[in-house]
């Protein structure tokens, strides 16, 4: 049997960001055993990992992080040295209609994982790490100016961000109380291949392809800071290996866009790629009812990770968006599969 230099459980590895993290670790570290623990909710899709599923350092385990006995048993069996925790309910709109799902997975699930790590690592924490992947939304909303730093106070507004903030607090409490070696990364909005089309960018791409209305919430003047997903995976790799223990690192794209400007940019790029008349897709824009408690603006100050670890985004927004649109145009089958069935029900409830 092959022996591995490190064993890492990556949770949520079948999801959008998780699949890019799993791929990076499986390919870059052939001597690590990578165990992808995922429940395969509507957002998890093993198609995302088809290209690496037969690698001999990759293992998939279907399971639910909210199930304490299962999680403890898996940790006891695998004896991981590291955990990279991405599994979560991740969509703000769903958190508004079903907050309890978010409490269960994002809070209870995180505490189960922390406990399991604490049990198997006992008090020998050398070369062990629990890396918790979180969001900038824990900081709340900014006005027209300013940036979130690692010192910004937590001020979450949606059930999603409140559940993520709570999970961050539990991670810190396990570091302070039990000495568990931890690190937290708080990242801005990601975009890229394999993004489930309930979030802004893939939803707009899907609707532009299908000439469906483009639902912009409120006046569209809400601002997000967008980062290409592979740059997030690179940042996670760096922090996991080189970050300072019990620290948090903000990760951002230095790339702020008002939603309406971003949707118009997508329309322009896609009209070109689809050989449509300039301006054709913009006609699909429809301003719809605003999201309750909608955060005006997120923007990350990523100078800590830049100065300490040398990280910065590797692709421009234009490149990243171009690659993303091309991926969706080339992966029609993926898009069709994830938008059949339950997606239609969700879409009707949310938009019609
Ligand atoms: P996603 O919704 O695409 O994927 C989540 C994954 O977790 C899915 O594969 C799902 O099956 C799995 N999962 C859900 N509940 C589970 C459970 N109970 N047990 C086991 N697995 C479960 O999410 P994403 O966008 O890839 O986000 C990943 C992480 O990154 C989340 O923790 C999210 O809060 C954080 N994050 C996301 C963004 C973003 O822009 N998407 C930005 C910053 C941080
Ligand atoms: P989203 O992708 O859901 O990410 P988050 O809410 O976590 O930032 O939304 C990004 C922005 O786009 C946010 O301001 C809400 C807005 N939005 C729309 O205007 N229409 C939509 O259909 C969706 C899904 C989002």
**pLDDT score, position 313:** 97
The pLDDT tens digits for 292-306 are 999 999 999 999 999
351 CA closest ligand 2 atom index: 22
Boundaries of every domain in the chain: 6-194+225-255+296-319+342-351
**pLDDT score, position 18:** 98
Mean pLDDT for all residues in the chain: 97
Adjacency order of strands within the sheet including 223-228 = 189-191, 223-228, 256-258
Q: Is 326 marked active-site?
A: no
CATH of 6-194+225-255+296-319+342-351, one of 3.40.605.10, 1.10.287.130, 3.40.50.720, 1.10.238.10: 3.40.50.720
Which protein residues are within 6 Å of ligand 1, measured from CB? 11-12, 14-18, 38-41, 43-44, 64-66, 86-90, 105, 109, 133, 135, 164, 187, 189-190, 196
> Going by CA atoms, what residue is nearest to atom 10 of ligand 2?
200
88 alpha carbon – ligand 1 mean position (Å): 4
- CB of 42 shorter than 6 A to ligand 2: no
290-317: buried (b, 16+ CB within 10 Å) or exposed (e) per residue? eeeeebebbbbbbebbbeebebebebeb
Which ligand does the CA of 216 lie closest to? 2
The pLDDT tens digits for 105-132 are 999 999 999 999 999 998 789 999 999 9
Q: Is 136 marked active-site?
A: yes
Q: Is 137 marked active-site?
A: yes
**pLDDT score, position 352:** 83
């Amino acid at each position: 049997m092959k022996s591995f230099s490190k064993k890492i459980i990556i949770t949520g590895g079948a999801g959008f960001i998780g699949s890019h993290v799993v791929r990076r670790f499986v390919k870059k570290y052939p001597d690590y055993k990578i165990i992808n623990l995922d429940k395969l909710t509507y957002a998890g899709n093993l198609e995302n990992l088809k290209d690496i599923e037969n690698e001999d350092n990759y293992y998939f385990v279907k399971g639910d992080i909210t199930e304490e006995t299962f999680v403890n048993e898996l940790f006891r069996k695998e004896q991981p040295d590291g955990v990279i925790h991405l599994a979560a309910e991740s969509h703000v709109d769903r958190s508004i209609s079903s907050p309890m799902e978010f409490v269960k997975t994002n809070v209870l699930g995180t505490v189960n994982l922390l406990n399991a790590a604490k049990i198997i690592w006992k008090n020998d924490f050398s070369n062990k790490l629990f890396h918790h992947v979180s969001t900038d939304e824990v900081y709340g909303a900014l006005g027209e100016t300013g940036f979130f730093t690692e010192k910004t106070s937590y001020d979450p507004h949606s059930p999603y961000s409140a559940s993520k903030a709570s999970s961050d607090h539990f991670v810190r409490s396990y570091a302070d109380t039990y000495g568990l070696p931890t690190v937290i990364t708080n990242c801005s909005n990601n975009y890229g291949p394999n993004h489930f089309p309930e979030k802004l960018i893939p939803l707009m791409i899907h609707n532009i392809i299908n000439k469906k209305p483009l639902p912009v919430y409120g006046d569209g003047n809400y601002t997000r800071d967008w980062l290409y997903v592979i740059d997030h995976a690179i940042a996670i790799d760096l922090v996991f290996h080189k970050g300072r223990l019990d620290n948090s690192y903000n990760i951002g794209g230095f790339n702020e866009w008002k939603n309406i400007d971003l949707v118009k940019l997508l329309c322009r790029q896609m009209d070109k790629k689809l050989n449509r008349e300039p301006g054709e897709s913009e006609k699909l824009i429809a301003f719809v009812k605003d999201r309750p408690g909608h955060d005006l603006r997120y923007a990350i100050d990523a100078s800590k990770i830049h100065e300490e670890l040398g990280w910065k985004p590797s692709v421009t927004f234009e490149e990243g968006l171009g690659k993303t649109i091309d991926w969706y145009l080339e992966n029609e089958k993926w898009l069709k599969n994830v938008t059949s069935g339950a997606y239609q029900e969700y879409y009707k409830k949310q938009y019609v």
